[in-house]
Amino acid sequence: MRHSYGDDPDQWAELSRARATPRGVAVVIHGGFWRARYDASLGEGLARDLVDRGWNAFNVEYRRVGRGGGWPDTLSDVADAIDALATLDLDLTRVVAIGHSAGGHLATWAGGRARLAPDQPGASPRVVLTGVIAQAGVLDLRGGAREGVGGTAITDLLGGGPEEVPDRYAVADPLSMAPLDVPVFCVHSREDDAVPFSQSETYVDAARRRGGVAELLEFHGGHMDHVDPTSGAWRRALGALERLAE
């Protein structure tokens, strides 16, 4: 069932309920470098597979760059969508965010919302995540902007580079928030030609060096393998999900 969390046509999420007692809620956040031409259809197959495996799946749409999104609305939308779970008569003991590419950025960012100052987008969460799985996530925004990851995708999202809008990077960059208070599993391939493997490697190294729980799970394959529920990439993500369900 589709639920709106705002007035914009792109402020919705699809809740698919497990047929038996659910193992928890899996929030699916699609990627596409935060751009309007990509949408929540990318997460539909994963959501169906999660339901088959006993999870309530919440496939999130949000405003993207070129369609009302960008700073701060894209981040606020994901925060508001997750908080909408509190209104849906669900057991929220276990809520895991699973995000691909730009969605991996948003999922990991959402895992640190409780630390945000009250005036920052996404602050004061009603629903707190218990774990994050980032699938080829864009997790080092400063480095990614300088390296041109996704072309101009990062600067388009935040309205400038790290030197131009440093305060926005301080809020939005998962690397600056590492480590989180919850486990983060990063699934990534060294063969990824869209988001460099170093994005996950840098994040996990920093999180662990600072005392956090983070793990890098490698597989062989391409960037879009993550949204294929028959792929090795998804099997790695499911393995992480099993560990988060223990």
pLDDT for position 231: 98
Q: Work out the pLDDT band at 197, boundaries 50, 70, 90.
A: very high
Q: Distance between terminal CA atoms of the chain? A: 28
Mean pLDDT, range 1-18, rounded to an integer: 98
**What domains can you pick out in the chain, each with its CATH number?**
2-244 (3.40.50.1820)
| Region 155-182 average pLDDT | 98
Confidence of residue 182 (pLDDT cuts 50, 70, 90): very high
Q: What's the pLDDT at 160? A: 98
Question: What integer pLDDT is reported at residue 198 of this predicted model?
Answer: 98
Where does the pLDDT of residue 47 fall: very low under 50, low under 70, confident under 90, or very high at 90 and above? Answer: very high
Residue 171: its pLDDT value, please?
98
**pLDDT score, position 48:** 98
pLDDT for the residue numbered 238: 98
Quick count: other Cβ atoms within 10 Å of Cβ 109?
29
- The label of the residue with tokens 């935060």 reads 34
Question: pTM to 2 decimals?
Answer: 0.98
Rounded to whole angstroms, the Cα distance separating 37 from 71 reads 17
Question: What is the structure's pLDDT at 170?
Answer: 97
pLDDT, tens digit, for every residue of 81-133?
999 999 999 999 999 999 999 999 999 999 999 999 999 999 999 999 999 99
Averaged over 40-65, what is the pLDDT? 98
Report pLDDT for 156. 98
pLDDT of residue 184: 98
Cα–Cα–Cα angle for 157, 3, 236, nearest 5°?
Answer: 65
Q: Show the 3-state SS of 202-224.
A: HHHHHHHHCCCCEEEEECCCCHH
**Among residues of the chain, what percentage have pLDDT more than 90?**
100
Burial 182-198 (b: 16+ CB within 10 A, else e): bbbbbbbbeebeebbbb
pLDDT (tens digit, 9 = 90+) per residue, 205-225? Answer: 999 999 999 999 999 999 999
Predicted local distance difference test score (pLDDT) of residue 24: 98
| Torsion (CA) 107, 172, 93, 225 in degrees, nearest 10 | 10
